[in-house]
Each structure stands twice: as C-alpha cells, then as structure tokens.
Amino acid sequence: MWHADTMPRTHRSLPATLGRGLAAGALAGAAGLGYAAGVEVRWFALRREELPILPAGSRPLRVLHISDVHMTPTQRRKQAWLRSLAALEPDLVVSTGDHLAHRQAVPTVLDALDGLLDAPGVFVLGSNDYYAPTLRNPVRYLLPDDGRRNIHAPQLPWGSLLDGLTGRGWINLDNTRGALTIGGLRFAFAGVDDPHLGYDDLSAVAGPADPDADVRVAVSHAPYQRVLDAFARDGYDAIFAGHTHGGQLRLPGYGALVTNCDLDTRRASGLHRHPACSPPGAPGSTWLHVSAGMGASPYAPVRFCCRPEATLLTLTPRAAA
Ligand SMILES: [Fe+2]
C-alpha cells in the first residue's frame, strides 16, 4: 500500500490531472464557441483570386462574388460591410443565393446592395431565399447531408427579392441563360435554380456554351456534382457557387468537415478545378470558385477558422496553349 508521501508522482496526480484536463477542455470549448459566435462570425474578409479565362490581349476585369448573405434587418455590421463593397467598383457582380434569413429582410438586402446594383450583375436563388430559417439540431450542421430539406417552413418573399434585383438590371439565371457585354467582351451565362432543393432543371440550360462568346460563366447556389459535371461538359470556363459556407466550422490544420452537398470537403471554398484533378485546358475541365459566404443561419450564428467573406476575382487572359 502506498502512503501519500511515498506514492509515485504519476499515481498521486492522475485524478487531479484528469480533472484539470477536462476543465481545460471545457474552458477551451467555451472560449472557442464564444470566439466563433462573438468575433469570427462578424469578422468579414475580402479574398482575392486571379482567374485566367479572358481572351489573349484583354484588359483585366474584376468580378465580385458574394454569396450566402443570410441577412436579417438587425445585422447592421454585415449591412455596412456589404454596402462598403461597392467601393471596389467591380465590372461584374455574381451573387450565388441565400440572400435572406428573415421575412422583412428584402428591403434591407436591397439597401445594402444599392451601390453594387449599379454594376452589371447576375444571380441565382438558394434554399434560404425561399424558406424561413428554422431551429434545428446544431449537430446536423456537422453531419453529412441527410437529404432532408427545410421546405415546410414559411416561405420568404423571394418574389420581391427577384423584382428588386432584376429591376436594377441584374440577370436572374435560375434555370436559364443570359448574356452581357462587359469591357467590350461578350459574356455568356447559364445558371440553375437551387440544386439543394432539387429545383435545378439542367435540361433547360443543356448544350454547348455559346461558342461566339468571349467568356462563358455558369452559376449555381449549391455545387452538386451533377451540376458541375454538366457545366464542365458544356464548355463553361468557370462555375461560381456558394452554399457550403466553407464548412462554417473548420478544424485548424484539417479544414472543412462538411459541404452540405456531395462536393468533397477539399473544395468547400476557394478556387479549384472541376473535375478536381483536371489540368487547365483538359477536355471538360473548368474553373470552380466556391464562396464561403458572408453569413450563417440565425439559429447557428457561428463560424470558426472560416471567416465570412466576399471574393474579388481578377479575370486575366488565358495562358497561351
Ligand atoms: Fe447559405
């Protein structure tokens, strides 16, 4: 039998060490949650990328990609930041859906977008433009997509949002094509309504991208593989998408745990290619830009190692073949 004064140090301190470890773990968890909910979810970042998809000799063009704003009328800091992006004076704005998170948010979103709506723009809607957010088990945000959709919640006034955006000249690309001339270059667009809800109608936009266009861009809210495959096959130079929130809660040194769709977690956000390993110029290869988005559901207002963002992409000439 060990006496306290003769007990080996490892035995004597084990319960205390465990207790201290648990307490430290709980403290770190609480601190992390406090940081994710109190700091990072409002710590907006502008990410910059270069996207070489213009014809040789073209001057660079700047595209602002915004997504997953998830706006409520009281989110003043987010409104101010979104409003400030107009100072970038982009040549084109691409918005990949989930603008709303509240029944009264349409005027708020349109007001915050006011300066950007002076620029040419294209957009699609996301599931959170159609349906009000609801309280769900937060663990579900960390699990793979279970196929259940939030379609029994009250509808949001997405028609007013459409009217507000198209009334200022932005092109609605939900299951349709569009075209714009920007900086003297002809842009051909195609988009789908939200694949996460199964609203995408690929047959409506199927077929080769306009061969007479200088630049071909496809847009989707959720980057499901069937949509990316179709647009890559049809020859689009780049696909813009959102929905993933970049994983929303990322592990340092590991990255995103989920994408909330069938896209792999390595491409949860940022500039990649589709198919993932295809080199530039390979048949069926396209650029894929996934925005980590600006917001989060009001019922899961946390982001960790995944700052809310918008992206300014500078379009440059393609590399010589
Ligand atoms: Fe979203």
pLDDT in tens, 177-199: 999 999 999 999 999 999 999 99
Q: How far is the CA of 79 from the centre of ligand 1 (A)?
A: 16
Q: Hey, is 105 helix, strand or coil?
A: helix
Measured in Å, residue 245 CA sits from the centre of ligand 1 at 6
Q: Which two tokens stand for residue 57?
A: 């000799």
Distance 90 CA to ligand 1 centre (A): 23
Q: How does strand 171-172 pair with strand 121-123?
A: parallel
- pLDDT higher than threshold 90 for residue 308: yes
Report residue 11's pLDDT band, with 50, 70 and 90 as the boundaries. Answer: low
Give distance in angstroms: CA of 128 to centre of ligand 1. Answer: 7
User: For residue 141, what pLDDT band results from cuts at 50, 70 and 90?
Assistant: low
CA 67 to centroid of ligand 1, rounded, Å: 8
CA distance 205 to 214: 18
Rounded to the nearest whole angstrom, what is the distance from the C-alpha of residue 296 to the centroid of ligand 1?
A: 6
User: pLDDT tens digits, residue range 50-86?
Assistant: 999 999 999 999 999 999 999 999 999 999 999 999 9
Say if residue 275 is preceded by a cis peptide, omega within 30 of 0: yes
In this predicted structure, the answer to whether residue 292 has a pLDDT above a threshold of 90 is yes
150-186 confidence digits (pLDDT tens):
888 999 999 999 999 999 999 999 999 999 999 999 9
Q: Which residues of 192-224 are buried (b: 16+ CB within 10 A; e: fewer)?
A: bbbbbbebbebeebeeebbeebbbbbbbbbbbb
Find out whether 260 and 196 touch, Cβ atoms under 8 Å.
yes
Q: Where are the alpha helices (DSSP H) in the chain?
A: 9-38, 76-84, 105-112, 127-130, 158-167, 225-233
| CA 184 to ligand 1 centroid distance, Å | 33
Residue 88 C-alpha to ligand 1 middle, in angstroms? Answer: 24
Instruction: Output the average pLDDT for the chain.
Output: 92
